Amino acid sequence: MEGLEIVTLVNSVIIPICLFLIMMGMGLTLVANDFKRVLKYPKAVGIGLTNQLLLLPIIGFALANIMPLEPEYAVGVMLLVLCPGGTTSNLFTYLAKGDVALSVTMTAIASVITVFSIPVVLSFSLIHFMGAGSEFQLPVLKTVLTLVVLTIVPISIGMLIKRFAPRVADNSQVYVSRFGVIFLTFLVVFLSYVQRDIIVEAFIATGPVSLLLNVSTMALGYYTSKWFGLNLAQRTSVTLEVGLQNSTLSIFMALTLLANYKMSMTPAIYTLIMFLTAGILVRVFSSRYNKVKRTEVERSVLAARRL
């Protein structure tokens, strides 16, 4: 199989299938009551979704305009910030001792909402950065249907498996989460190879904006959560949910819906940075969690001795 055929196979077959499986894996962790958590914990979910669906795109749009980016790289920023969190954010939240249920709920709700927000805002972004007469046009209805097939449908299938075969779902979800991280890593390596002629240029161009976007939005997620009185586990979830995007989905849209490799480079490079910062935060948050637990145990022992 020649190089061009391999690239076509990856873009049109492998990426959509793997994205479908990853989103189905998220559904394996969901039950209907997870969506009711919005009513049970409206403040935590509201803060998380406001950061994810409103503040993140605004900051991304501002940075894409302020930073000296080529139009394709600027569109890549928007592809990234319009996507919801994915199974990666749920996995890192678990490792950081955060509120996994809250993380999963935010990811699921955002995945449904962005099916309808992505096509509209992305279409505007293409006109804004590429020009009204650009060759890159986004068919809104087709994009909505594609996103439904690759997000809502597999999530629903995963939820059905969770409902009627809970043991299968519970035994599979960890492997699917790991698969999501492994496949995303493979995707970044694949893009780096295909775009090896411009990879250094792309990293120099998009590395600063990716780092600034990641750090600023994570900081915003953490401090807004803290200001509104969320506990440590909830703050951890919101911080990681805002900073860890579904890069697989953004890369898929760049390669398949827009057929432009250059636009996929920003999400790919952001992925490397978000893995690094998330790894650091996992150590920080898990250390804080352990410290809080030790303090609680010590207080309990002292209280028991006084009795």
DSSP 198: T
Whether 171 contacts 29, CB under 8 Å: no
The packing angle between helices 100-130 and 140-147, to 10°, is: 160
pTM of this prediction? 0.89
Residue 13's pLDDT band, with cuts at 50, 70 and 90, is confident
In this prediction, residue 2 carries a pLDDT of 53
The two structure tokens encoding residue 171? 């035994």
Q: Is the dihedral of CA 18, 258, 115, 223 positive or negative?
A: positive
Give the helix/strand (H/E) hosting 36: none
Radius of gyration of the chain (CA): 20
Tell me the pLDDT band of 133, cut-offs 50, 70 and 90.
Answer: low
CA separation for the pair 277, 135 (Å, rounded): 36
pLDDT tens for 45-77 read: 999 999 999 999 999 999 999 999 999 999 999
